[in-house]
């Protein structure tokens, strides 16, 4: 009898283990430490696990940013992550930074996270007032593998100074520290309308301000990279030292998923994160979630498809997805 009881107990353990293993487990990529994506996506993963943990598990992993996220999601090393529209387009078509990869088309779009702007900051007492003033200076373009690095380089090229600056590729935290220590002259990264934690923290003790593109420079950047749109960043009160708006460029950030993710998982992720009450909770921790939406107008021209479960979800919530490509599987 004792043996039978032991076998039954062992079988129960195996059954329980099998049940746990049968739950769907996914890897969700974030961003580099010191940036906005890292705490934002981490908070999202925690909420997903809290509400969906009995069926789906989401393992959060930091990353080098947009380029890294898009590539790893396309190859299935991440199941889901955020990416800038420029890198999404390049990966899908096998051009630019993804030329050696060839066309990477094993990912789908599931949400529009927000429109993001690029910031270019200096210490408030810096003699640098314009992009032309950056010639001969040390400009940090952020870490390679990030969308910010690409966007910073595009801005400097559009402004006509890329060949006249000394560049660095430090991450968010190291870049802010280097700016404060005057080891670099310019801090460039993705940012507005939300804040870069490392830079905001620096500004408390060492005020900073943003450098504004001229209207002509702004037009040249957009001409070279038509994914961008003109934007003027308003004064951000939490950035100490910023007293004037700054002209810059903006671009969409999309939420991606590898095509292997189940329809049920996609729908569940959106049901949780786009729920109005949950969005308020997430936004209180990380403002990047404030604008999660189903506006995919730009995808019509790009030819990059929505995941069918995402199309169904957003259409049911009043977003017009007519004319937006939807994957056939």
Q: What is the pLDDT of residue 144?
A: 82
3-state secondary structure 39-93: HHHHHHHHHHHHHHCCCEEEEEECCCCHHHHHHHHHHCCCCEEEEEHHHHHHHHH
**Residue ranges of the chain with per-residue pLDDT less than 70:** 1-22, 145, 329
Q: What is the pLDDT of residue 329?
A: 67
Question: Would you say 143 and 188 are in contact if contact means Cβ atoms under 8 Å apart?
Answer: no
Distance CA 99, CA 79 (A): 22
Q: What is the pLDDT of residue 55?
A: 94
Domains and CATH numbers, the chain: 2-113+253-316 (3.40.190.10), 116-251 (3.40.190.10)
Q: What is the pLDDT of residue 96?
A: 86
CA distance readout (Å), 212 to 162, 165, 172, 196, 234: 16, 17, 20, 18, 11
Model confidence, pTM: 0.79
As given in the structure block, the two tokens for residue 180 are 């404060």
Max intra-chain CA distance, the chain = 87
């Amino acid at each position: 009898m004792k043996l039978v009881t032991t076998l039954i107990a062992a079988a129960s353990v195996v059954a329980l283990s099998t049940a746990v293993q049968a739950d769907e487990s996914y890897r969700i990529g974030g961003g580099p430490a010191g940036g906005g994506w890292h705490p934002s996506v981490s908070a999202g993963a925690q909420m997903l696990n809290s509400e969906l943990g009995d069926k789906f598990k989401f393992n959060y992993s930091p990353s080098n940013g947009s380029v890294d996220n898009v590539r790893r999601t396309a190859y299935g090393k991440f199941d889901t992550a955020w990416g800038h529209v420029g890198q999404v387009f390049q990966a899908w078509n096998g051009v630019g930074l993804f030329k050696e990869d060839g066309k990477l088309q094993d990912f789908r779009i599931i949400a529009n996270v927000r429109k993001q702007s690029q910031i270019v900051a200096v210490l408030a007492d810096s003699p640098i007032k314009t992009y032309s003033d950056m010639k001969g200076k040390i400009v940090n373009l952020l870490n390679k593998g990030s969308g910010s690095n690409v966007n910073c380089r595009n801005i400097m090229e559009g402004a006509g100074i890329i060949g006249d600056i000394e560049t660095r590729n430090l991450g968010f935290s190291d870049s802010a520290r280097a700016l404060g220590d005057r080891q670099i002259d310019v801090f460039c990264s993705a940012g507005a309308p939300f804040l870069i934690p490392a830079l905001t923290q620096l500004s408390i003790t060492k005020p900073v301000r943003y450098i504004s593109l001229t209207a002509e420079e702004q037009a040249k950047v957009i001409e070279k990279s038509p994914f961008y749109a003109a934007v003027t960043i308003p004064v951000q009160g939490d950035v100490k030292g910023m007293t004037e708006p700054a002209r810059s460029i903006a671009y969409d950030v999309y939420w991606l998923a590898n095509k292997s993710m189940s329809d049920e998982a996609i729908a569940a992720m959106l049901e949780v994160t786009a729920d109005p009450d949950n969005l308020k909770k997430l936004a209180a921790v990380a403002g990047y979630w404030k604008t999660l939406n189903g506006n995919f107008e730009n995808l019509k021209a790009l030819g990059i498809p929505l995941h069918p479960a995402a199309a169904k979800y957003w259409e049911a919530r009043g977003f017009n997805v007519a004319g937006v490509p939807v994957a056939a599987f």
